[in-house]
A = this chain, B = another copy of it.
Amino acid sequence: MSADEEKPSLPVSFEQLAELEDDFEQVDLEVTRHQDKLTKDLYVKREKIIANIPHFWNSVFEVAPEEFEHAFKETDGELLLSLKSLFVSRFDLPNGDPRSFSIKWEFEENEFFEDKVLEKKFIYRQSLKGDVSGLVSEAVKINWKPGKDLTNGLTDLVLKVEAEEKAGKGDEETEAKKELKKKIEDTPLGDLSFFTWFAFRGPRITEEEHKEALKKEEEKRQLRKAGKPVEDDEMEEDDEDEDDLFDKAYEYEPYPAADDQALCIAEDIWPDAIKLYLQSQEDDMLSDFEDLEDDDEDEDMEDSKAEPASKKRKA
């Protein structure tokens, strides 16, 4: 299944595809807006019901998609048992961008930190360089109890570097930066606590740059609609800019998977939470059952995970 013969440049113009993709993107945004409006109250209602189920979110994360495989270390799991509520909201709606969202984690009193609520915002920003976008965030301060910092100082160091950048030392190689970089290098992935997620910052795209990029995009859109030629600034040098933008951010990012995990929460785990919870309960029951019947070889045991969810759809 290969089409090696005809592959040179695209047989349709890049403009045509870009316009099409842009049209679809606009529709997607509109659909997300509509969906948010229709589901907002339902999620509030759901949260009230869920509040009566002990360890609901903990169970959900047990069967979360692959983005969360190996994400929770053993002590993370202990802390997660005190997670009382999780809430995703597209805070910029109804008038702003549906691609920005926040995830609010509510905890019971626990032995690890003082905080009752940790909220992290992911703001959609478009860059002027390389026509690239990303989710931008600020590091969230966690008030660890003495000796209980699961991130081993990583979150605090990121906060320090962030403060320095805000104070205009973005280009300086400060002590905190050096320390952070070394700590990132010295931390084995197997020791990295999930709670480092709260320190994620993402690419450095300011609100000003974002607005400028949106304006430029809208100008292009108007030119295209008018059938006029659009300046094509999408080529190789932009790819370099793009790599640069992300590499620079990731140098001081102890938890670079955070934005993908955040998207996974917002787009998969959050809407599917009840299904995932029921699946986790079914898995638990099955493994209890298997324990009971462990030495009964007549039984043809079926793993509930083996059957794809879409094959049997509960109405």
Q: Which residues of A contact B (CB under 8 A)?
A: 1-4, 6-7, 10-12, 16-17, 20-21, 23-24, 27, 30-31, 34-35, 38-39, 42, 45-46, 49, 52-55, 58-59, 61-62, 72, 76-77, 80-81, 126, 131-134, 213, 217, 242, 246, 259-260, 263, 271, 274-275, 278, 281, 284, 308, 310-315
Contact = CB atoms under 8 A, between A and B. Distances in A.
A17 B274 contact: yes
A311 B81 contact: no
A230 to B, nearest CB: 14
Contact of A39 (B27, B52, B53): B27
Number of this chain's copies in the complex: 2
Contacts of A61: 1
B80 A315 contact: no
Contact of A260 (B23, B284, B310): B310
A2 B30 CA distance: 40
A68 to B, nearest CB: 11
Contacts of A314: 21, 131-133
A12 B51 CA distance: 10
B274 A58 contact: no
B20 A27 contact: no
Nearest to A264: B310
Contact of A274 (B21, B34, B284): B21
Nearest to A22: B315
Contacts of A284: 4, 7
Contacts of A11: 52-54
Nearest to A256: B311
Contacts of A80: 1
Nearest to A80: B1
Nearest to A51: B12
B24 A42 contact: yes
The 10 lowest CB-CB distance pairs between A and B, nearest first, are A1-B77, A3-B55, A133-B313, A27-B38, A31-B35, A6-B54, A133-B315, A131-B315, A12-B52, A11-B53
Nearest to A54: B6
A315 B217 contact: yes
A119 B9 CA distance: 32
Given A17-B49, A55-B3, A311 B260 contact: yes
Nearest to A132: B312
A46 B217 CA distance: 21
